[in-house]
Structure 1
Amino acid sequence: MKHYSLMLLAFTFFIASCKRQHINKTSDASSIDSLKVADTKPVIDSLTITTPSKPEVAVTEEEKVKIDEIDFKYLKAKAKVSYKSPNDNQSFTVDIRMRKDSLIWMNVSAFGITVATALFNDSLVKLYDKYHGEYKEYTYEDFAGKFNFNVSYDILQALVVGNRPFKKNKSRVVRSNEYFLLKQEENKVLIDNYIGENKKLKKILLTQEDTSNKLTLDFDDFTTLNQFLFPQSSLITLDYQSKEDQKMYQTVVNIKHTKVELLDTPLEFPFRVPEKLLNKN
């Protein structure tokens, strides 16, 4: 399996590919096409938002649709993450640390052993595959090019906390059944933000214009945390077309936070890579 299968889009694909490498270390170097979509049900069916039966109707300006977003300086969390594909169904423990709008640290472990560590800032992705003793650095442009989706730091942060990825981008607001829908466009990606009655984002749908690949983030189990409603459960789904065989594939990850802290006190972000690996990069 190719080394870059380690990094399938932060939470969703970073975690999932770590698992595949752990299980299939001696398998054929066949890239991500092993994730062919099968007729399997998502982990959380209740979060699926169906296409509205009625036409969407523009109702107001963005400023009049206030989203209850989570404000914090530092975040510390632990989550149980289950990865599901037609060929696999595995679970991981993920420790997460974040400095808002600037840094995300993830440590992925299985059976009590660290598998990999990742560090994301606003311009660079650093990934240390401890199991295989490999280290890579990527710009977000390179990172996106490998995985058929225009990922950014803002999208990765949204995966963790459920805030809107692009706040300064102009939005068109429409009413979609029981939801307000904020429609945006950023770097050739269409963004649909579904806002529930509790003023929280219930779903973010990102569609890449040039490929029609889709990344869906569903949020549920909102719990009060430091006066904010925090989504304890998330469902992340990527549907994409393979460049090799033009077939559609899917990766699904279910995230359940077991502990979350919003802090004012600075955190450490330990990311230690053997010097011999740094010299190879």
Structure 2
Amino acid sequence: MLFLIVFSAFFLESCKSTFLGTNTRVKEEFQVAEIPFEYFSTKTKFKFKDGESKTKATADIRVKKDSLIWFRLTPGLGIEGARGIITQDSLIMIDRVNKSYYAFSFQGLSEKFNFELNYDLFQSVLIGDMPIAQSAEDDIVAQANQFTIVQRIGELTLMNQIGNKTKKLEKLTASTVKSKNTLELKYTDFNMLEQFVFAFKADMVLQYFKDNKKGEITIDIEHNRARIENEPLTFPFSIPESYERK
């Protein structure tokens, strides 16, 4: 359910690095490659582990840019186990197995994980773009095989490692002053999606603290099929009246 929940800490490597934060020309010329789309869909293998709790499923995902993410999880035997939608202000998921549903506001999720979570972040993780768009305020560090774009938004610091060849986000880490929670997100298996470079695999490790106890969530995502859709998609979703909210 919370397979896209994010963020963490990363300390920038300084060895053989060149700081380009004040080089206006380089900032203007260096642009991260993004995938333009209105509708997007994937069929994805999904693995989730939180302590002793494990989930393995196939996920069908549909996206309407900057508006809606729809997903359906099938644990096995072709039977739907869960269905959910993510909008600009909330995440709702139906649990078919236990005949119940969950509803979270982004404000509530942000308080729970001590990070500011929003729709843009969820969409960016799926598509492989930077969660926060590149801007002239960012610092850039050039290294042998990559650029690192450093972003500071309030108390949040993000490190976006961009491959020289792919021009895509290959690793994301982040940190906040208040939280000890950390996450590392890596993108691999870059191939062409039409004329655009797309990462077909993403691996995440989220370390978090709850009641002074350290926990770890690991998430593996592998897109078997990804499509930039030319026609509008449908997003079928309704909560049965008999389902209880958890």
TM norm structure 2: 0.86
The equivalent of 2:28 in structure 1 is: 63
1:107 paired with 2:97, answer no
Query: What amino acid maps onto 1:58 in structure 2?
Result: F
Q: Deviations over 1:165-214 (max 9, x none)?
A: 11165311112442211111235321111011121110111223211312
| Match among 206, 209, 217 for residue 241 of structure 1 | 209
Contact preservation (8 Å) 1:12, 1:253: no
Query: In structure 2, do the counterparts of structure 1 residues 52 and 168 end up closer, same or farther at CA, with 3 Å as the change threshold?
Result: closer
Contact preservation (8 Å) 2:92, 2:102: yes
1:200 paired with 2:165, answer no
| Match among 228, 233, 241 for residue 267 of structure 1 | 233
Q: Deviations over 1:201-252 (max 9, x none)?
A: 101112232113122221111111121011011111211122x1x2322111
| Match among 97, 103, 109 for residue 131 of structure 1 | 97
1:95 paired with 2:95, answer no
Q: How far 1:123 sits from its partner (Å)? A: 1.4
| Match among 160, 170, 180 for residue 147 of structure 2 | 180
1:54 paired with 2:15, answer yes
- Report the Cα distance in structure 1 between the residues aligned to 2:51 and 2:89, rounded to whole angstroms: 33
Query: What amino acid maps onto 1:52 in structure 2?
Result: E
Contact preservation (8 Å) 2:204, 2:219: yes
**The structure with more strand, counted as a fraction of residues:** 2
The equivalent of 1:34 in structure 2 is: none
Contact preservation (8 Å) 1:52, 1:177: no
Cα RMSD over matched residues? 2.4
- Report the Cα distance in structure 1 between the residues aligned to 2:181 and 2:46, rounded to whole angstroms: 23
Query: What amino acid maps onto 2:69 in structure 1?
Result: I
- Report the Cα distance in structure 2 between the residues aligned to 1:193 and 1:167, rounded to whole angstroms: 11
- Name the SS for the 2:115 alignment partner: coil
Query: In structure 2, do the counterparts of structure 1 residues 189 and 115 end up closer, same or farther at CA, with 3 Å as the change threshold?
Result: farther
Q: Deviations over 1:65-115 (max 9, x none)?
A: 211111111111101112345535552101100011111111111112222
Q: How far 1:55 sits from its partner (Å)? A: 6.9
**The structure with more helix, counted as a fraction of residues:** 1
- Report the Cα distance in structure 1 between the residues aligned to 2:214 and 2:126, rounded to whole angstroms: 26
**Percent of matched pairs sharing the same residue:** 28
TM norm structure 1: 0.76
- Name the SS for the 2:101 alignment partner: strand
- Report the Cα distance in structure 1 between the residues aligned to 2:217 and 2:86, rounded to whole angstroms: 21
| Match among 179, 187, 190 for residue 157 of structure 2 | 190
- Report the Cα distance in structure 2 between the residues aligned to 1:110 and 1:117, rounded to whole angstroms: 12
The equivalent of 1:19 in structure 2 is: none
Using the TM superposition, name which of 152-161 and 59-68 deviates more.
59-68
